[in-house]
């Protein structure tokens, strides 16, 4: 066993780090929320088949908000550019692209240690966020306890618009100091949540899982760099867990894919909950038939 360090917190090994649930602090929705989302998707699909299947790019402007403590937590111009390139490579084939809209640097030792669901999160976001309906508010900071990041889901924008966005440990950006997680796919993963995806292992082998038909159900998160040709906890003995999927927990170096149905779900949820993001495209405007979602 090799001791596993994340942001100066020691875990017995990488498996312990994953089991303690701090890799990604994005919570699972409850059954009532899941039911509402499902009803919204059914209503949207009924009149938006062309919008969902269109390959026209949805361009997402990013407002980078870097919380620093003096020299700690600084993110370079090159790291931002590299992060956007990583996102464009990951999402480009699925009809999404990203661009830098703003860069804000805020020196605040208290917010620097921000963690999920804390007063500091509310204060930080309330002070620094800009209109979440037209951009991604992308915060970097130094969450404690080995948290790499978290995100809000699209349906939360109606209830808590001021919390909308993703928060990442700054060292997870490309070239950062977090071993195994510094190629930029923590952002790919958290933005997947921001666009409405769940973990591929959600629900384990019971229940409705991640609500995606073409990701193999598996018993729990995978970590490290498992061989994709092994079963790796797939619920069915004849299948293989999606260890290369961005919504699993494996190392950045192994992550390469979303699936077709994950893409469809992301486009549906943008059409339902973030329709202003498509307004720059005349093609998408002409294809979109908005619905009023149940919040």
Residues marked active site are found at 190
Of residues 83 through 102, those in contact with Zn ion by CB under 5 A are: none
CB of 243 to Zn ion, least distance (A): 15
Report if residue 262 touches Zn ion, rule: CB under 5 A: no
- The torsion angles phi and psi of 270, rounded to 5 degrees, stand at -65, -45
Q: Which of 142, 265, 157 lies closest to 202 in space, CA to CA?
A: 265
The DSSP code for 10 is E
Of all residues in this chain, which one has the CB nearest to Zn ion in the complex?
24
Question: Segment contacting Zn ion (CB under 5 A): 21-29, 57-65, 109-117, 205-213?
Answer: 21-29
Residue 172 · residue 199 · CB < 8 Å: no
Question: Segment contacting Zn ion (CB under 5 A): 22-30, 44-52, 132-140, 221-229?
Answer: 22-30
CB of 89 to Zn ion, least distance (A): 20
Residue from the set 7, 14, 26, 152 that interacts with Zn ion by CB under 5 A = 26
Q: Quickly tell me which residue has 């790499």 as its tokens.
A: 148
Would you say the C-alpha torsion 209, 214, 219, 223 has a positive or negative sign? negative
CB of 90 to Zn ion, least distance (A): 15
Q: Quickly tell me which residue has 């591929």 as its tokens.
A: 200
Helical packing angle, 31-45 and 260-273, nearest 10° = 90
Measured from the CB atom, is 185 or 263 closer to Zn ion?
A: 185
Q: Which residues bind Zn ion (CB under 5 A)?
A: 24, 26
């Amino acid at each position: 066993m090799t001791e596993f360090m994340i942001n100066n917190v020691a875990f017995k090994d990488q498996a312990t780090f994953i089991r303690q649930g701090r890799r990604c602090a994005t919570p699972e929705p409850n059954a009532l929320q899941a039911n509402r989302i499902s009803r919204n998707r059914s209503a949207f699909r009924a009149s938006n088949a062309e919008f969902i299947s269109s390959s026209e790019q949805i361009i997402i402007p990013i407002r980078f908000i870097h919380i620093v403590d003096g020299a700690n937590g600084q993110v370079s111009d090159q790291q931002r550019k590299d992060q956007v390139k990583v996102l464009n490579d990951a999402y480009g084939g699925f009809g999404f692209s990203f661009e830098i809209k703003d860069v804000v640097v805020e020196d605040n030792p208290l917010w620097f240690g921000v963690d999920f669901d804390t007063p500091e999160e509310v204060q930080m976001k309330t002070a620094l966020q800009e209109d979440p309906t037209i951009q991604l508010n992308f915060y970097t900071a130094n969450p404690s306890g080995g948290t790499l990041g978290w995100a809000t889901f699209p349906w939360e924008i109606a209830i808590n618009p001021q919390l909308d966005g993703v928060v990442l440990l700054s060292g997870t950006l490309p070239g950062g100091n977090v071993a195994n997680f510094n190629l930029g796919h923590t952002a790919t993963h958290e933005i997947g949540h921001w666009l409405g995806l769940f973990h591929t292992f959600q629900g384990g082998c019971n229940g409705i899982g991640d609500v995606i038909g073409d990701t193999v159900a598996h018993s729990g998160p995978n970590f490290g760099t498992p061989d994709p040709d092994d079963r790796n906890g797939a619920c069915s003995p004849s299948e293989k867990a999606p260890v290369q999927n961005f919504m699993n927990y494996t190392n950045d170096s192994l992550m390469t894919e979303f699936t077709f149905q994950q893409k469809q779900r992301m486009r549906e949820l943008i059409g339902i909950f973030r329709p202003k993001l498509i307004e720059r495209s005349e093609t998408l405007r002409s294809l979109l038939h908005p619905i009023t979602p149940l919040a």
